[in-house]
Amino acid sequence: MTWNRKHLGPLLCAAVMVTALFSNVAPALADYWGASLVKLSSTGKTLAVRRSYDQTLMYVAADPKGVWTLSHFNGGSGGVRLTRRSLSGLTTKSHWWGGYWILGLDTDSRGNASVVFDRSIRRYSPSISRLSNLVNRLPRWTEVFHLDRAGRIYIEDAGHQRITRISRAGAMTGDYAPLNCYEPHETLPADQGGGVTESIDVDFAADSAGNLFAVTESTSSVTVSKFSAQGSLVDTWAAGFGHSDVEYPKILVNPSGTVSVLRPAAGKIITYTAAGKYLRTISVPRERVKVPYFPAYVWSHASDFAVNPAGGFWVIRNAETF
C-alpha cells in the first residue's frame, strides 16, 4: 500500500517521461506527483499509462517519432544515453475519474486497459470506451493486481502478506503462500488509523504456465519469490541489497520467460532466468530534468516499466521534489 505516496500528493512536484530502452520510441508525458504506471498493449503499438497527478488513464501511440530515442547502448556496462527529438506522431486519449483514486493498471490480450476503481476492476478499450467490469466487487481492498495471458486475475491482500487468485465474479479461487519478505513499513498516527502497521510494497507477475513471481523489499534486501500455479512457494532469491530510500520495486515476465526487476532508487533493471539465475543488469540512472512551473531542476527516477515483444523495455520516470 503506497499510503505515503498517495497522501503526500499535494507536497510533491513531478514530471513523467516514458523512456525507451532497446527501442526507438518514447513519448513525453507531463505529471506532477506520485508514481505513474505504464503497460504495453498486446499489439506492441500502444502504451496504456495511468497518469497519477490528475488520475487519468491514457493511451499513447508507440510512435518511432516520439520525444526520446535511443542513441547509444553499451551492452557491457548497461549504460544508456538518450537524445531528445521533436515531438510528433503522439496521439493520446484520456479519461478522468473525479473523487476516486485509480490504483492498479494492467492490459489484457486484446489491449484493453483495466484499473482498480472504488473496489472494482473496470475495463476500457483503447478508444477509452467503457466495457463491462472485469470484477464487480473485489473480495479484498487492493492497489495491485495482475492479469496473466490466460485471463487469470491476481490481487494482493490489504496487508501485502498474501496474493490471491480470483474469478471475474470476485470469488477467491486460491491463495499463494505468504510472502517471505514481509516486515512492517510504518505505523500510522492515531488520527490516521491508530497503530495500523503498514507493510512494504509488493508487485507480481505470472508466466504462461501460471507460475507467479512476486518482488518485495525490506530494509536489507529486495527479494523475488516464485510460486507454483498451485500456490506453493517454490524458490526465493535476492535482487540486490536494500536501498536507503523506499523503492517500490516492480517485476515483469519477459516474452522469453525470463524475469526482470526494476529497482527505481538503485537505478537498475535486473534480469534473471525463471530459476533465479542472474543474467544481466541495465542501468536506468536518475537524471536532472526541468519541471514545468517549477524554478529548479529535479531528479528524475523510474517508477514502472513495460516490455515489448522483442524484449526491449519502456520505462516511465517521475521527477520529484519536496
Q: Which of 9-23, 52-66, 206-220 has the lowest mean pLDDT?
A: 9-23
pLDDT of 100 reads 57
pLDDT over 90 for what percent of the chain?
A: 12
Residues with Cβ < 8 Å from 119, sequence gap 6 or more?
137, 138, 141
Q: How many CB atoms lie within 10 A of CB 55?
A: 19
Q: How far is the C-alpha of 263 from the C-alpha of 48, rounded, in Å?
A: 21
Strands (E), 135-232: 145-147, 153-156, 163-166, 172-175, 184-187, 197-199, 202-206, 212-217, 221-227
Q: How far is the C-alpha of 16 from the C-alpha of 319, rounded, in Å?
A: 7
Of 246, 165, 272, the residue nearest 212 (C-alpha)? 165
Q: Model confidence over 116-164: pLDDT tens digits?
A: 877 888 888 877 788 899 998 887 777 788 988 888 899 886 555 678 8
Q: What is the mean pLDDT of the chain?
A: 68
Q: Model confidence over 199-219: pLDDT tens digits?
A: 456 889 999 888 999 998 776
Residue 115 · residue 134 · CB < 8 Å: no
Q: What residues does 153 pair with on adjacent strands?
A: 147, 166
pLDDT of 194 reads 42
Q: Model confidence over 267-285: pLDDT tens digits?
A: 889 999 999 999 999 888 7
- Give the CA dihedral 104, 110, 112, 117, nearest 10 degrees: -40
Residues with Cβ < 8 Å from 71, sequence gap 6 or more?
81, 82, 83
Residue 113 · residue 48 · CB < 8 Å: yes
pLDDT of 197 reads 40
Reported as a pLDDT band with limits 50, 70 and 90, residue 259 is very high
Average pLDDT over residues 35-62: 69
How far CA 255 is from CA of 18, 21, 311, in Å, comes to 20, 16, 7
Q: Model confidence over 290-299: pLDDT tens digits?
A: 665 566 677 7
pLDDT of 230 reads 86
Q: How far is the C-alpha of 66 from the C-alpha of 84, rounded, in Å?
A: 9
Q: What residues does 199 pair with on adjacent strands?
A: 184
Residue 15 · residue 291 · CB < 8 Å: yes
Give 16 or 79, the one with higher predicted confidence. Answer: 16
Q: How many CB atoms lie within 10 A of CB 120?
A: 15
Q: Which domain holds residue 257?
A: 3-320
Q: How far is the C-alpha of 207 from the C-alpha of 130, rounded, in Å?
A: 28
Domain count, the chain: 1
Domain CATH for 67: 2.120.10.30
pLDDT of 294 reads 62
pLDDT of 188 reads 45
Give burial (CB, 10 Å; 0-12/13-18/19+) of 284. buried
pLDDT of 61 reads 64
Question: Does the pLDDT of residue 231 top 50, yes or no?
Answer: yes
Residues with Cβ < 8 Å from 259, sequence gap 6 or more?
205, 213, 224, 251, 252, 253, 271, 272, 273, 274
